[in-house]
Amino acid sequence: MQSFQLIIDGKSVAGDEASFEIRNPATFEPLGLAPTSSLAQVNAAVAAAKAAQPAWAALPDATRKDYLNKVADVLTSNTEYLAKWITQEQGKPLAGPGSMFEMQACVGWTQVPASLDLPVEVVFEDDTRRDELHRKPIGVVGAIAPWNWPLLIAIWQIVPSLRVGNTVVLKPSEYTPLGTLEMVRLIAAVLPPGVLNTIGGDGKVGDFLVRHKDVQKIMFTGSTRTGKRIIEASANNLARLTLELGGNDAAIVLPGAKPAEIAEGLFWGAFINMGQTCACAKRLYVHESIYEEMVQALKAVAEKMTMGDGMQDGVVLGPIQNKMQFDKVSELVEDAKSHGARIVTGGKAVGGNGYFYPITLVADIADGSRLVAEEQFGPVLPIIKYRDVADAIAKANALDAALGASVWSSDASEAMRVAQQLEAGTVWINQHGAIHPMVPFGGIKGSGQGVEFGMEGLKALTVPQVISIKK
């Protein structure tokens, strides 16, 4: 079986601890052996990044942009190769909003930061003085990625970091390391040695990285539980943090919305990547006047989608990525059933060789149920009936999770009125999860700290320096 390698200081190296097997969640077939790093290897990766950083930061902006455009070209020419890795390892199909889509997004999220500049701002000027705000790189960025969009989220962490003159040590998720390691192997080949490095392993190895005294910024995407640990660990090195944590996005369908017209958009808003997306709609609040019509419209969309091994033609829904998540989804659905909720479609694991669980719509469910209150992160959607819009808003805002939310309505001003009252980093109107590389994205409350993407995302990878000039 193929052993996958790390990149440290521009060289391919094996993990220096025992490797572990990665299996395809659609077939349980072994795919390869993933490397694990020791503390010494994490130290070597950080040392390489630290040594490479001053020269990388000293390059003219135009040169770093050229490098990133070369990275985009490598991603473009390897789109199919890397998409196949994503599908086999993560489960999302090649087709639909799956792994080819993930790779195209990797290219876009590389080209856009490569096109942006952070000009010097004059923040004050009078006859006596001129004060300029300059943006400086922070140093070594420790990037820690999850397993749901493994390559795209790594790109979100790597590219803006490099654009502004930082260097990076990346740890992919232990559930999906292979495709990411292949991607880094390919893109590191067009970058100077040490600028982009990888380490391998689980949370223990991630902890080595976040505690390292020479890591000055952590880009973390993952669970709220791990995010809290990282905040504690950052007390050691005062690393700056961008934390993209769990979500439990509410979608509110207002009276007067047209269920048949919005069903497909809502479906993908809830079930892209089998619901294993931070900003999926995870709780659907529907007004009583159109409740059953909405439930049936979603059922009709769900039942026409083909689930299976994502390497096969026509498949648009894959397996759940791992057993932990598969068990969690099964448990939450059983809990809902035992409390009298109605299973509209799905509701029982498919079984066989793969973590297949059907799209499951759960109606007539009470707001306080576990399936509503906890992040299911899987192919099951609770649909809650409401009477007063104010009550739906209050319920949407009641949880600590506050990443995204959406409002679905035929009345633009009413949708805006509701959107402004929702507590979430992003509120979408008549769409859900529609992220864009120019538009800042991040959670509030328990869903994280800081934003990624666009100018705000770039600024978060710099430290401000004021240069104050006496006239």
Under the binding rule (CB under 6 A), the answer on residue 223 touching ligand NAD is yes
* Residue 175 · residue 276 · CB < 8 Å: no
Binding mask 371-410 for ligand NAD (x = CB under 6 A): ----x-x-------------------------x-------
In this chain, which stretch among 6-14, 52-60, 141-149, 391-399 interacts with ligand NAD, using CB under 6 A? 141-149
Residue 396 and residue 367: Cα distance in Å, rounded? 10
Site membership for ligand NAD, residue 152 (CB under 6 A): no
Among 89, 102, 174, 249, binds ligand NAD (CB under 6 A): 174
Has 278 been annotated as catalytic? yes
355 binds ligand NAD (CB under 6 A): no
Tell me if 181 sits within 8 A of 4, measured CB to CB. yes
Q: Is residue 443 near ligand NAD by the rule CB under 6 A? A: yes
Q: Pairing relation of β-strands 342-345 and 360-363?
A: antiparallel
Q: And the tokens for 349?
A: 């694991």
CA atoms within 13 A on the CB side of 192: 20
Minimum CB separation of residue 47 from ligand NAD in Å reads: 19
Q: Does 229 bind ligand NAD (CB under 6 A)?
A: yes
Tell me if 45 sits within 8 A of 90, measured CB to CB.
Answer: no
| 46, 210, 253, 332: which one binds ligand NAD (CB under 6 A) | 210
CA distance 66 to 398: 46
Q: Please compute, for residue 140, the number of CA atoms within 13 A of its CA located in the half-sphere on the CB side.
A: 26
Residues 237-256 that bind ligand NAD (CB under 6 A): 244-247
172, 294, 326, 341, 447 from 275: Cα distances, Å: 20, 19, 12, 20, 17
- Binding segment for ligand NAD (CB under 6 A), chosen from 92-100, 226-234, 284-292, 338-346, is 226-234
Considering only residues 112, 141, 188, 230, which one is a binding residue for ligand NAD as defined by CB under 6 A? 230
**Separation of alpha carbons 227 and 210, rounded Å:** 11
By CB under 6 A, the residues from 255 to 314 that bind ligand NAD are 278
Looking from the CA of 222 toward its CB, the CA atoms found within 13 Å total 25
Counting contacts by CB under 6 A, is residue 221 touching ligand NAD? Answer: yes
* 3-state SS, one letter per residue, for 33-102: EEEECCHHHHHHHHHHHHHHHHHHHHCCHHHHHHHHHHHHHHHHHCHHHHHHHHHHHHCCCCCCCCHHHH
Does 445 participate in binding ligand NAD (rule CB under 6 A)?
no
d(CA 370, CA 366): 9
* Candidate residues 98, 310, 448, 457; the one interacting with ligand NAD per rule CB under 6 A: 448
Closest chain position to ligand NAD (CB):
206
Tell me the per-residue interface mask from 45 to 74 with ligand NAD, x by CB under 6 A, - otherwise.
------------------------------
Answer yes or no: 21 catalytic.
no
Q: Which of 174, 244, 375, 423 is catalytic?
A: 244
Say whether residue 25 binds ligand NAD (CB under 6 A).
no
Catalytic residues: 244, 278
Give contact residues for ligand NAD (rule: CB under 6 A).
144-148, 153, 171, 173-174, 202-203, 206-207, 210, 221-223, 226, 229-230, 244-247, 278, 375, 377, 403, 443, 447-448
